[in-house]
Structure 1
Amino acid sequence: MVIGATGQIGRVAVGALATDGWEVTAVSRGGGRDASWPDGVRTARADRADDSALAAAIGDGCDVLVDMVAYGPEHARQLTNLAGRVGSAVVVSSVSVYEDDKGRNFDTQEQPDGFPEYPVPLPEDQRTVAPAETSYSTRKAGLERELLAAADELPTTLLRAGAIHGPHCRTPRELYFVKRNLDGRRRRVLAYGGESRFHPASVHNIAELVRLAARKPGARALNAVDPDAPTVAEIAVAIDAVMGVETESVLVDGPAPAETVGDTPWSVPHPVVCDMTAAERELGYRAVARYAETLPDTIAWIERQLAGRDWREAYPKMFQNYGDLFDYAAEDAWLRA
């Protein structure tokens, strides 16, 4: 059973599990189905916030419960309350649960010298933030802690995803370069010399980890990222190549020179690059997709979403999270100066 089946990762994971021989029930608020799913996939309508609706969807039980949309400790308790009817679980978490050895994490990044400086590559035994109700990261940490503590009742594999990419994303980082190319912008400003690395995670690689974890239940937290971690400058060039354009990168040492100039969704002062050794060892994981190979589908999806619409209408959550990513007047003024 897959909760959040019609979301970005869920669509691919349902298909991967069904192809692997599982009888899959795809649960979502709308009860819809994806055209790519095999005919045998069943659908069910349920809001995961509604305990009784979710319990009814599970019915007599399932061997594996895959949860794409669990965000806090209350969702952990919701799952453990179903332990008698569920064999094991696979739950998507986030690399944002990590903090560095000085206590810096994603929640402190706006403070002076507040961005975390993780080991490269970042292993799963790196310390994590304290659970709390204060942020996405602390709630994910609370989710993880409760599920791992309940391992005897419900063995759960937690997948700490990086910068997720692929079609159906509500906050596609690739939009930053795709829209610039569509708008005919042939110069771009990149902070930190274009060397920032924020490890991407393809929906196809996450789905492969889901498939493998379903076959091999256990109590564990594993990183979930691509085999490569390109720099932001390399990402920009790869997107240009798919779109058939040439763009000059203006590289800036250090942080963005102005609030809306050069600060991409990947721009970070220290690399966030994760280690996948544990997944390879414990699950026999091998990546099924590389970042550049998946870009054509991602870019085509973004272009369809943008067609005839203001980007803020097409991607309201992107605007909410990042603000004005396309302040061309500010960019031009800085470039002239």
Structure 2
Amino acid sequence: MVIGASGQIGRPTVDALARDGWEVTAASRSGGRDGTWDDGVRTVRLDRSDDAALAALVGDGCDLLVDMVAYDAVHARQLTSLAGRVGSAVVISTVSVYDDGDGRNFDTLDEPDGFPAYPVPVKETQPTVAPGTTSYSTRKVALERELLTAADQLPVTVLRPGAVHGPYSPLPREVYFVKRNLDGRRRRVLSYGGASRFHPSSARNIAELVRLAAVRPGTRVLNACDGEAPTVAEIGAAVDAVMGVKTETTFLDGPPEGSVGRTPWSVPLPFVFDMSAAERELGYQPVGSYADSLPETVAWLTDALAGRDWPECFPLLAQVYPDLFDYAAEDAWFTA
């Protein structure tokens, strides 16, 4: 059973499991079906917050439960209450749970001297923030801790993705380059010398990790990222190559100047995560590189943007990055 099956990670996960021979029940709020799924995939509507509905759906039991949308300790207890009827679980968490060891983390990014200085790469043994209810990160830690305390009853693989990319994303960072190219912008500015690295996680690579964990039940916490962590300049060049355009890039040595030079990957220090544990424990090898995944993402974004304003298409992205396309400020910067 896959909870959150119609989402960005759920779609390729259902496909990967079905291709691997699993009989899959794809549960989501909409009960929708992806066009790539095998006809044998069963789709059902499910309100994730309805304990009774989830318990009824599990029924007498399932060998594997994959949860894309579990968010906090409440959801963890909902899953562990089903322990006697579920063989094993795979649950999606996030790399934002990590602390740098000096109290800096994703929750302190905007505070003075609050940007985390993580080791490169970050291993799963890195400290995390304290569990709680005050932020996305603290809630995800609470989810992890609650699940791991019940490991003797329910084997669970916790996966921590980075900057997730691929079609159907509510936060498609690649739109920064795709929309600019569609708008005919042939000059851009990148802060921090274009060297910022925020480790990407292809939805298809996450699905591969789920597939591998499904046939190796156990309790473990694993980073869930791509095989490489390209710089923001390399990402821009890769998008340009897919779209067949040439762009002149100017680099700022330091941070963005207002909105100029700011991208969804612009970080002064790298976020890079170690994948050796997944390789060792699951035999993980990425199913594709970042560049391999881009044509599908670019095509999806191009279709989504056709005739629509980008905040209408991606309201969450617009909320997090409201000034991504401040062309007037950028033009004034170039003129100055």
Place the TM-score, normalised by the shorter chain, in its bin: over 0.9
| Distance in 2 (alpha carbons) for counterparts of 1:14 and 1:286 | 19
- Residue 78 of structure 1 and its aligned partner are, at CA, apart by 0.5
Which residue pairs with 1:140 in the alignment? 140
| Distance in 2 (alpha carbons) for counterparts of 1:26 and 1:102 | 41
| Distance in 1 (alpha carbons) for counterparts of 2:187 and 2:288 | 30
Question: Does 2:161 align with 1:161?
Answer: yes
Give yes or no for contact 1:105–1:115 (8 Å, CA) kept in 2.
Answer: yes
- Residue 45 of structure 1 and its aligned partner are, at CA, apart by 1.1
Further displaced range: 274-283 or 51-60: 51-60
- Residue 48 of structure 1 and its aligned partner are, at CA, apart by 0.8
- Residue 56 of structure 1 and its aligned partner are, at CA, apart by 1.3
Write the letter of the residue equivalent to 2:241.
Answer: A
* Partner secondary structure for residue 9 of structure 2: helix
Question: Does 2:188 align with 1:213?
Answer: no
* Partner secondary structure for residue 269 of structure 2: coil
Gaps of 5+ in 1: none
- Residue 113 of structure 1 and its aligned partner are, at CA, apart by 2.0
Q: How does 1:4-15 map to 2 (within 5 A)?
A: 4-15=4-15
Which residue pairs with 1:72 in the alignment? 72
| Distance in 1 (alpha carbons) for counterparts of 2:154 and 2:334 | 56
- Residue 164 of structure 1 and its aligned partner are, at CA, apart by 0.5
Which 4+ stretches in 1 moved above 3 angstroms? none
- Residue 187 of structure 1 and its aligned partner are, at CA, apart by 0.8
Q: Alpha-carbon deviations, 1:143-183, whole Å to 9, x = none? A: 01111111011111000001000011111000001011111
Which residue pairs with 1:265 in the alignment? 264
Question: Does 2:81 align with 1:116?
Answer: no
Which residue pairs with 1:228 in the alignment? 228
RMSD across aligned positions (CA)? 0.7
Give yes or no for contact 1:45–1:57 (8 Å, CA) kept in 2.
Answer: no
| Distance in 2 (alpha carbons) for counterparts of 1:150 and 1:332 | 56
* Partner secondary structure for residue 159 of structure 2: strand
Question: Does 2:52 align with 1:52?
Answer: yes
Q: Alpha-carbon deviations, 1:196-226, whole Å to 9, x = none? A: 0000000111000000101111111100000
| Distance in 2 (alpha carbons) for counterparts of 1:124 and 1:72 | 19
- Give the TM-score normalised by the residue count of structure 1: 0.99
Gaps of 5+ in 2: none
| Distance in 2 (alpha carbons) for counterparts of 1:155 and 1:115 | 35
- Residue 314 of structure 1 and its aligned partner are, at CA, apart by 0.8
| Distance in 2 (alpha carbons) for counterparts of 1:67 and 1:200 | 20
- Residue 13 of structure 1 and its aligned partner are, at CA, apart by 0.4
Write the letter of the residue equivalent to 1:29.
Answer: R
Identity %: 70
Q: How does 1:16-35 map to 2 (within 5 A)?
A: 16-35=16-35
- Residue 232 of structure 1 and its aligned partner are, at CA, apart by 0.1
Write the letter of the residue equivalent to 1:287.
Answer: P
Question: Does 2:267 align with 1:254?
Answer: no
* Partner secondary structure for residue 169 of structure 1: coil
| Distance in 1 (alpha carbons) for counterparts of 2:88 and 2:231 | 37
Question: Does 2:316 align with 1:317?
Answer: yes
* Partner secondary structure for residue 89 of structure 2: strand
* Partner secondary structure for residue 178 of structure 2: helix
Which residue pairs with 2:300 in the alignment? 301
Which residue pairs with 2:335 in the alignment? 336
Write the letter of the residue equivalent to 2:289.
Answer: R
Which residue pairs with 2:283 in the alignment? 284
* Partner secondary structure for residue 116 of structure 1: coil
Question: Does 2:32 align with 1:36?
Answer: no
| Distance in 1 (alpha carbons) for counterparts of 2:65 and 2:280 | 23
Write the letter of the residue equivalent to 2:7.
Answer: G
- Give the TM-score normalised by the residue count of structure 2: 0.99
* Partner secondary structure for residue 8 of structure 1: coil
Which residue pairs with 1:188 in the alignment? 188
- Residue 5 of structure 1 and its aligned partner are, at CA, apart by 0.4
* Partner secondary structure for residue 239 of structure 1: helix
| Distance in 2 (alpha carbons) for counterparts of 1:239 and 1:295 | 7
